Amino acid sequence: MAVQLMQTNTTQVTSFIAPAKLNLFLHINGRRSDGYHELETLFIFLDYGDILTFEVTNTKEIILIDEICNIKPEDNLIIKAAIALQIATNCSFGANISLKKVLPMGGGVGGGSSDAATTLLVLNLLWQTNLSIEQLCDIGIKLGADVPVFIKGEAAIAQGIGEQLKPIDLEEKWYVVVNPNVHISTAKIFNHPDLPRNTTKLKDDWKQSKINNDCEELVKKYYPEVDKTLQWLLKYAPSKMTGTGACCFASFETQAQAQCVLEALPNCWQGFIAKSAMISPLHKQISIEIK
C-alpha cells in the first residue's frame, strides 16, 4: 500500500503519534566491513507511542521541550532529524517541539527512531519542503537503521541494515508489552563478541521457517530480568523479546485477553497493551488531520 501524504499550509500547534514497533523475529546474517550488521527482521507497528507536538516558527531555531529524557540536545534524534531536514532543503523555518515520552528508552520498541521519523514526516509537511518518502528515508537512514521503516509506515520484512523493506500484511492482534526496567544499549549488544552473526538468510516463506531473535540468548545472559519477564509471559502465551531488548511481548486474539494479562503484571515491571497495525498510526493520522 502506497502512503500518500497531503500538503498543508497550517501553522497551528498540532500533535502527532510516534508509534512503537515490535520485531517479530530478528536474524543476524553477518557483519559488514563498515561495522554494520546484515540482518532480516519483521517489523510491525503498534497503535501506541510517544506524542510530539509541533509549532512552526519563523526562525531556524529548533527548541525541544522534554521533561523526561536527559539527552544532550546535540545527541537527541528529534533535534538531529529537524536540523538534517533544514540542511537538506535549505529551509529557513524552525520549530518548537514538545515530547510526551511514554515509550521506554533502551526498550527495543523503536522510541528514538520513531520520534525521528515523525519529526521528518511532520516537518516536511509543515515546512512545505516537499521531499518524497524516499528522500526522507535517505536522511533517516543516517540517523538510525530503523528510521526508514517508520518513515515508510508499512509493516515490513527488512533486510540489509534495515533499509531494504518488503511490505507485509498480517492479521492484527493485541499485544502485551512488558518493560523489565533495564536499559539495554543496542550498540553494546551488536558489538558483543558472543552475538550470533551467521544465521542463514530466509529462502522460502518465513512462516514455514524457524524464526527467532538472535539477540535474545545474549541479552538473557547479561540481563536476568529479561529472562524472568519472558518466563512470566510464557505462562499466558509464547513470549518473545523485541529488537535488542529489553521489552518482551506476547500476542492475543482479543483486547480482553491482553487486558487480563496486563492486570496480572507484577508491580516490579511496567507494561501496556496495544493493537498491532500494518499501516503506521502516524500515516493514518496525517491523512486525516492534514488538510
Q: Which residues pair with residue 154 across a beta bridge?
A: 279
pLDDT at residue 7 greater than cutoff 70? no
Told to judge if 21 belongs to the known catalytic residues of this protein, a careful annotator would answer yes
pLDDT at residue 197 greater than cutoff 50? yes
Scan for cell 558489538, then name that residue.
191
Which are the contacts of 28, defined by CB distance < 8 A and separation ≥ 6?
37, 38, 39, 195, 196, 197, 198, 199, 214, 215
Are 26 and 206 a contacting pair, CB within 8 Å?
no
Are 219 and 180 a contacting pair, CB within 8 Å?
no
Q: Which residues pair with residue 57 across a beta bridge?
A: 94
Q: Give CA–CA dist 26/89, Å, rounded.
A: 35
Q: Which of 50, 66, 115, 146 is catalytic?
A: 146
pLDDT at residue 2 greater than cutoff 50? no
Q: Which of 21, 80, 220, 240 is catalytic?
A: 21
Span 9-291 CATH architecture: 2-Layer Sandwich (3.30)
Task: Determine the pLDDT at residue 161.
Answer: 85
Told to judge if 138 belongs to the known catalytic residues of this protein, a careful annotator would answer no
Q: Which amino acid is at 258?
A: A
Q: Give CA–CA dist 56/66, Å, rounded.
A: 17
Across 139-167, b (16+ Cβ under 10 Å) vs e yields bbbebbbbbbbbbbbbbbbbbbbbbebee
pLDDT at residue 69 greater than cutoff 70? no
Cα-based torsion angle of the residue sequence 6, 10, 14, 18 in order, rounded to the nearest 10 degrees: 30
143-166 pLDDT per residue, tens: 998 999 999 999 999 999 888 999
Q: Which residues pair with residue 26 across a beta bridge?
A: 41, 213
Of residues 10 and 92, which shows the higher confidence score?
Answer: 92
270-282 pLDDT per residue, tens: 999 999 999 999 9
Question: How many C-alpha atoms does 158 have within 13 Å on its Cβ side?
Answer: 29
236-278 pLDDT per residue, tens: 999 999 999 999 999 999 999 999 999 999 999 999 999 999 9
Element (H, E) at 256: helix 255-263
123-144 pLDDT per residue, tens: 999 999 999 999 999 999 999 9
